[in-house]
Structure 1
Amino acid sequence: MAEPVVGAVMIRSPVTVPSGAPLKQVACALLTADACAVPVLAARTPIGVISEYDILANLEFHGGIDPLPILGAGAARRRRRQARATCARELMSSPAPLIRENAPIGVAVRRLSDPARAALCVVNERLELTGLLTRRELLAIYRRTDAELAAEVRRALEPGRSRPARDRATPAVLVLGGVVTLDGELAYRSQVEHAGFAASRVAGVVAVHNNLRYDVDDLLVTGF
C-alpha cells in the first residue's frame, strides 16, 4: 500500500481570513479554528499564513513600543515589526507555503520540520485553497491501533511476493506500541528487504524490526 497523501489527513474547509482583517479578528479566527495557524486569502488563493506565534509578537513588544533585547536582535527586529501590525496583510508570513493534495505525507513532514513553518496550505491545480495541514494532523496518525497497523502491514506485504514458486508461508507480523516485528522466512533477500521497506511506509508505524530470513541472496553481485 502506498504512503498516505496530504489530502487524506488535512483539515478540510479550514477557517481563513482576508488580507484586510484586523488583528483581533485574526486572533478570534485562530481560537474559532482551534488551529495553530490560519491562511490569508486573496479571492480563493492563499497569499500568506498567520500563526499564534506571529500574533503574540503584539503582546511581547506591547504593540512595538518596547525596545529590542540585547540578544537575538535579528529575530527580535522581525517580531517587533510584527508587533506593530494591525491587519492580516502586515502580520502574515508570505508567500504562503503551498502543497498539493496528492503529495505524500513524508514530503509534508520534511517541510513542516522547519520550526518557523506552522502550517502548509493545501491547494488544487488552480492554486485554490482546499485544506490546511499542521503538525497536529500528522500526529493524529499515531492514534491508529496496533491491530489496524498489523492488518495494513499484512496488506502491504502481499504485492511484494513476486516469486510464488519458492515462497514459504506469509511472514508473521507482530505490532506492539506501533513497533512492527516481522518474522519467518522468504525465498529471496530482495523480498525480505522489500518487506521491511513496505512495513515502514505504513502510516503510524514507529519502527520495524525485520527478523525475516531468506534462502537466496538475489542481490549479491558476482563476477568481479
Structure 2
Amino acid sequence: MDRRSPHTVDDVMTSTVVAVGMDAQFKEIVTAMKQWHVTAVPVLEGEGHVVGVVSEADLLTKEELRDEEPTMIGQKERLADYAKAGAVTARDLMSSPAVTVPAVATLPQAARLMAQHRVKRLPVVDEQAVLKGIVSRSDLLKVFLRPDADLAAEVRREVVDRFFPVSRAGILVVVEKGCVTLTGSVRDATLIPVAERLTRAVEGVVDVRCDLIAPMAVDVASRQ
C-alpha cells in the first residue's frame, strides 16, 4: 500500500474476484457464493464489463415467494420480485445497472457511494468499465491498520515540513494508536488550523490533538 494520502480504491481493493456471466444458472451462482464465501457476485458481459450484480437478496426471493399464493394486487405491487422468483439465470436475477466505483476513486468517495446505495461492497472498474476487483467495507478500514510510525512520518513530511519550514525542528509529532498530537511553537498562527485539518486528512488517522502555539501572536495580543 502506498504510504501517502489520499489512498485510492485501487490501493485497498481485493483483486481476485468471483464473477459470473449473463447465462450463469441459479445453482451455479449459489455454488460460487458458497465456495468463495461471498454474498454477491458481479455479472459480466463481453470482455469483462460489469452489467449487474447478483446478491443473496436477489436469490432469496425465490425461496421467499415459493409457497405464497399471489393475488392480482400483490403481483402488481411486487412485479420485479415475482420476476426474480421465476428467474433461473444471472441475466434475469441481477440488479442492474450495477453500482460500481472507479479504481481511482478515493476511499471517502467509495464509502459515500456504499452508504448512498446501502451496499456492503462495490465492483471496482477501470476507465472502460472493465472489472478490476472488488472493495468492501472492511477493505476501506485497512488504512486504520497503518503503523503509527508511518502516520507520524507522513504528517511530518506532508504537514510540518511543508507548512512550517522554519519552525519544523521545534515541532513534535507523536502518534499513539492512530491518534496524532502536534506540539511546538510556530511563527504563523493562521496556519495552525490548516495543519490540524490536513493532519486529520491523512488516511489512517483516528484523531488529532493540536497543541501548536504562536508565541509572537500571543505577545502582540497581550500588548493591545
2:146 corresponding residue in structure 1: 144
Superposed displacement of residue 104, structure 1:
1.2
Q: Which amino acid aligns with 1:128?
A: V
Q: 1:187 to 1:39 in 2, by over 3 A?
A: same
Structure 1 residue 49 and structure 2 residue 53: aligned?
Answer: yes
Partner of 2:86: 84
Contact 1:48-1:94 at 8 Å conserved across structures? yes
**Separation of aligned partners in 1, 2:143 and 2:5:** 15
**Alignment match, 1:100:** 102
How many angstroms apart in 1 are the aligned matches of 2:143 and 2:77?
33
Q: CA deviation at 1:18?
A: 0.6
Q: By how many angstroms is 1:27 displaced? A: 2.0
TM-score in terms of structure 1 length: 0.78
Q: How far 1:208 sits from its partner (Å)?
A: 1.6
Partner in structure 1 of residue 222 of structure 2: none
Structure 1 range deviating more: 114-123 or 43-52: 114-123
Match of 1:114 in 2: 116
Which of these residues, 32, 37, 40, is aligned with residue 37 of structure 1?
A: 40
Distance in 2 (CA, whole Å) between partners of 1:76 and 1:37 is 22
Give 3-state SS (helix, strand or coil) of 2:142's partner. Answer: helix
- Read off the aligned partner of 2:96 and give its amino acid letter: S
Report the 3-state secondary structure (helix = DSSP H, G, I; strand = E; otherwise coil) of the residue aligned with 1:198. helix
Q: What displacement does 1:136 show? A: 2.0
SS in 1 for 2:192: helix
CA contact (8 A) 2:5 2:203 kept: no
Listed as ranges, the matches of 1:126-137 within 5 Å are: 126-137=128-139
Does the aligned pair in 2 maintain the 1:120–1:134 contact within 8 Å?
yes
**Whole-angstrom CA distance in 2 between matches of 1:75 and 1:208:** 51
> Contact 1:160–1:195 at 8 Å: present in 2 too?
no
Of stretches 188-197 and 91-100 in structure 1, the one that deviates more from structure 2 is 188-197
Give 1:164's aligned residue: 165
| Structure 1 residue 49: Cα displacement | 1.3
Q: Call closer, same or farther: CA 1:17–1:196 in 2, change over 3 Å.
A: same
1:147-192 CA-partner distances (Å, limit 9, x unpaired): 333333333324532x634x25353222233222222222223432
Distance 2:216 2:84 in 1: 63
Any gaps of 5 or more consecutive residues in structure 2? 71-75, 218-224
TM-score between both structures, scaled by the size of structure 2? 0.78
Task: Give the CA RMSD over aligned residues.
Answer: 2.9
C-alpha distance in structure 2 between counterparts of 1:115 and 1:124, whole Å: 20
Identical counterparts, % of pairs: 33
Report the residue type matching 1:66 in the other structure: E
Q: 1:24 aligns with which of 7, 23, 27?
A: 27
Q: Aligned pair in 2 of structure 1 residues 180, 95: CA closer, same or farther (>3 Å)?
A: same
Count of aligned pairs between the two proteins: 209
Tell me the secondary structure at the aligned position of residue 120 of structure 1.
strand
Identify if the C-alpha distance between structure 1 residues 196 and 87 changes in structure 2 by more than 3 Å, giving closer, same or farther: same
d(CA) in 1 for partners of 2:83, 2:102: 31
What are the Cα deviations for residues 59-80 of structure 1, in whole angstroms up to 9, with x where unaligned?
Answer: 4x054x3368xxxxx9977555
Deviation at 1:10, TM superposition (A): 1.0
Q: Corresponding residue for 2:202?
A: 202
Other structure's SS at 1:157 match: helix
Query: What do residues 25-53 of structure 1 show as CA deviations (whole Å, max 9, x unaligned)?
Result: 11222233333322100011000112233
Task: List, as ranges, runs of 4+ consecutive aligned residues in structure 1 with deviation greater than 6 Å.
Answer: 74-77
Name the structure where helix makes up a greater proportion of residues: 2
Q: CA deviation at 1:111?
A: 0.5
